Amino acid sequence: MGFRKMSVLSIGFILILSLVLAACSSNNKSANTGTNSGTQAPASSQTAAKNDGEKTTIRFSTWYGPGDVEIWKNVISRFQAENPNITVEFEPLEWGAYWQKLQTQLASNSAADVIGMHVGIVYGYVEKNQLAPLDDYLSANDRKDQLSESLLVEGQWPKDNPKQYALPWHVTGATLFVNMTAFKEAGIAYPENGWTIDEFKAAAQKLTTDKRFGFSVPTFSMAAGLAGAFGTEPTTADKLHSNYNSPEMLNFKTWLHELIWKDKVAPNPKDLDKNIDPFVAGKVAMAINGAWNFPVYRDIKDFEWDIAPMPSKDGKTKTYAGPDMLSITQDSKNKDAAWKFMQFVIYNQQAQELLRATGVPMLKEDLANDALINEIAAQKPAHFKVFLEGVNNDGIGYAFTKKFFEISQLELDADVKIMERPDADIKKELETLHDQVNKEFEKQ
Amino acid sequence: MRDMHKNADVIKSAKKKRRMSPDALWAFILLIPLFVGIGLVYYSALFGFTMSFTSWDIVRKAEWIGISNYRTLIEDDLVWKAMSNTLIFLVITIPAKIILGFLLAVLLNQKLRGIQFFRLTYFFPTACSVVAIALVWGYMYGADGFLNQMLQGLGLSKVYWMDENHAMSSIAIMTLWVGMGYIALLFLAGLQNVPTDYYEASRVDGASKFQQMWKITIPLVTPTTFFILVTQIITAFQMFGEVYLLSGPANSTLTIVQYIFKEAFQGFRMGYASALSYILIVVILIVTVIQLKVQKRWVHYDL
């Protein structure tokens, strides 16, 4: 064989061998695709941090809302400044992608050391032995009393012999955003003492013009507060069965439907561009959105805005709220370093002063600090205390079960059939939804 | 002495015949990765088939449940919905792709200055990322998106492109736009393989352009048409990226592969997803075998 032919074949063989070896390389190295707010440390997991100053890298993954990524990067920078031996690799993901990737990573033992965890679904992960208990770390923490029992309980399982598997990093929820410029134009006074759903609907009618609707009908967990005022929730109290066929749920969905098709104060959801926030665009004067939008909404220049109390029905008012949590994965090789990071995020003011921007203060010392509350209110929304009181006094969750994602998708699908059709058979659609949700609960 | 040399030559020649030639050896070595790959594919297929008889959430141990997954999928309304969406998509897009791709190829087959630019332009969407394409079309299809703004500018009412009733056709239009260039390229290759003698002879006999197209061009590109039909049907059955990124509401664009993905990676019901995958394989196999049997009636390899 000629020398040239031999060389070509040798090079070709080496290339193919390299490709095969690269494709077969360890999953541990390929798991990290995140950003690092500090140094460019490698992604592979290393040995646990020790007090002798050994450098460690931990991975932190969570979902993000508008503005969250920058906030987290700043938190991580502050943590790393205080803990120069620990590097945090940040792996933010969009909500839907996060939960999909998390499950797969946990199954393949390639999840981050610290992971975002949602309230109410902690137990699903605990049952599969995927989360590390935090009790030993907590008992050594001298600031553990800063979190209220109601927040701690959300991260505990089982209920009869609880261990702590998740801790809150902020408390947030949904609030009613109102366009104050539109309020002034329509001559509507701000509801300082609260308002009923009839007063709310009357205001929506005054706010509706040929260029703008008074309100946009909420979906998914954004509707939980209003649903609570109607005395209903997606699941039964034991969180194991559907509640969609209840008379209260029918009343609630009918009321929302009438806002669109009878009262004409809310747009047909089909008319709203999914790529544009209708409240920010000025297409609706009132909308229920997540408090995590506060940092982004502060950039609105076209009109003045604030938040208003959730409307009440028969004296009942509810605010959708709850903690977002963090956990350490059972397979983490860096639990000590991971706990140091979690401890900083949850209990250290350097982190909390950044993180509470997307919700409400959660540490007892902050809740008792009137000056702090006033300082937050001065940044907008002006009636921040309304949301704070709603969260603390009338908080309500959503369908926080193992089937949270499935239930929310089924409800979204049902809402399309209910809200987008003027002649929807709401009762029939809710019965169908009820059966679908119960079937989902029966699946593994 | 001559006999000794002759014997030595015979022995050398015999030894050469027993040893593998260097070329054959290299061929064998370079084929090893391919065999490994094929082995992995068949192993995965067998593993998936076994998984279809289990209940497995990829975390806990798989539990043998026999044909329970197959019984469940027969009663699962979403399976029928997904399959019917897939078939609707197939019926809308494949004839359109073939007809429009062929016509485009005929236009691109002209000997005009700058024709390469147009060939590149029409092929360009095929080379683009499906994510980028879906994002752009998502904005175009928005309630206040480019298309509706154009319609309203012309005094027409807006279209709910991505509502329950229109979402599937909207995705079909997008897929057509993406795939037409590729189909045209395949037809272009087919057209350029048609011997010009047939056209010259038909011109002498007084055939019109239409007659040439109908009697010569179309029959002689049937092998290309057949290839496109088989591959595009398989691709249509496997459609996922476009519908995942540009989903219509209330399962209006749910395809069978998307449903398999949901069951496997959102519901973590691996066994059920495997059973669905095997049903899909069987359906594709049946359709492909039918096409192979029927092709003898309409595919012409010469006139």
CA–CA distance, B285 with B234 (Å, rounded to integer): 9
Measured between CA atoms, the residue of chain B closest to residue A411 is: B250
- Residue A444 has its nearest CB partner, among B55, B139, B265, at B55
What digits encode the pLDDT tens for the residues A256-314?
999 999 999 999 999 998 888 999 999 999 999 999 999 889 999 999 999 999 999 99
At CB < 8 Å, which residues of chain A contact B? Answer: 1, 9, 12-13, 16-17, 19-20, 100, 103-104, 106-107, 128, 130, 270-276, 405-406, 412-414, 416-417, 420, 443-444
Contacts with B275 from chain A: Cβ below 8 Å: none
Measured between CA atoms, the residue of chain A closest to residue B135 is: A275
Distance from CA of B182 to the nearest CA of A (A): 28
Amino acid identity of A412?
A: L
Domains of chain B: 2-51 (no CATH), 71-298 (1.10.3720.10)
CA–CA distance, B280 with B257 (Å, rounded to integer): 8
- E strand or H helix at A93: strand A86-93
Range with the poorest average pLDDT among A81-95, A298-312, B3-17, B218-232: B3-17
- Residue B26 has its nearest CB partner, among A9, A106, A420, at A9
Instruction: Give pLDDT, residue A44.
Output: 38
Instruction: Give pLDDT, residue A107.
Output: 86
Instruction: Give pLDDT, residue A39.
Output: 35
Two structure tokens written together for B185: 């390229």
What digits encode the pLDDT tens for the residues B271-283?
999 999 999 999 9
Q: How far is CA A201 from CA A177, A215, B176, in A?
A: 15, 9, 46
CA–CA distance, B267 with B264 (Å, rounded to integer): 6
Two structure tokens written together for B3: 């006999």
Q: Are A384 and A377 in contact (CB under 8 A)?
A: yes
Q: How far is CA B145 from CA A60, A212, A283, in A?
A: 37, 18, 15
Two structure tokens written together for A217: 């009908």
CA–CA distance, B113 with B152 (Å, rounded to integer): 38
Q: How far is CA A404 from CA A20, A343, B174, B242, in A?
A: 40, 28, 32, 25
Q: Are A41 and A60 in contact (CB under 8 A)?
A: no
β-partners of residue B220 are: none
CA–CA distance, B228 with B220 (Å, rounded to integer): 14
Instruction: Give pLDDT, residue A85.
Output: 95
Name the packing angle between helices B77-108 and B68-75 (round to 10°).
70
Contacts with B267 from chain A: Cβ below 8 Å: 406, 443
- Tell me the torsion sign for CA atoms B98, B103, B107, B109: positive
Amino acid identity of B238?
A: Q
Inter-chain contact B138–A275, Cβ cutoff 8 Å? yes
CA–CA distance, B46 with A424 (Å, rounded to integer): 47
- Residue A273 has its nearest CB partner, among B145, B249, B268, at B145
CA–CA distance, A179 with A279 (Å, rounded to integer): 8
Contacts with B72 from chain A: Cβ below 8 Å: none
What digits encode the pLDDT tens for the residues B143-186?
999 999 999 999 999 999 999 999 999 999 999 999 999 999 99
CA–CA distance, A157 with A102 (Å, rounded to integer): 20
What would the DSSP string read from start to end of A360-411? B--SHHHHT-HHHHHHHHHTS-TTHHHHHHHHHHHEE----STTHHHHHHHH
Inter-chain contact A100–B265, Cβ cutoff 8 Å? yes
- E strand or H helix at A433: helix A426-442
Measured between CA atoms, the residue of chain B closest to residue A124 is: B59
Its pTM surpasses 0.95: no
Mutate to test the interface with A, among B36, B164, B259 (most CBs of A within 10 A): B164
Instruction: Give pLDDT, residue A61.
Output: 97
End-to-end C-alpha distance for chain B, whole angstroms: 66
Chunked mean pLDDT (size 10), chain A, 444 residues: 63 64 47 38 39 82 89 96 96 92 90 93 90 94 88 90 94 95 96 94 97 94 93 90 96 97 96 91 96 91 95 91 94 96 95 90 91 87 91 84 87 95 96 94 79
> What's phi and psi for B123, nearest 5 deg?
-85, -20
Instruction: Give pLDDT, residue A358.
Output: 86
Residue B4: which pLDDT band, with cuts at 50, 70 and 90?
low
The CATH fold assigned to A33-171+323-374 is: D-Maltodextrin-Binding Protein; domain 2 (3.40.190)
Contacts with A12 from chain B: Cβ below 8 Å: 30
Instruction: Give pLDDT, residue B303.
Output: 59
Q: Any idea which residue has 């963090």 for tokens?
A: A326
What rounded mean pLDDT belongs to chain B? 90
Q: How many CB pairs under 8 A join A and B?
A: 67
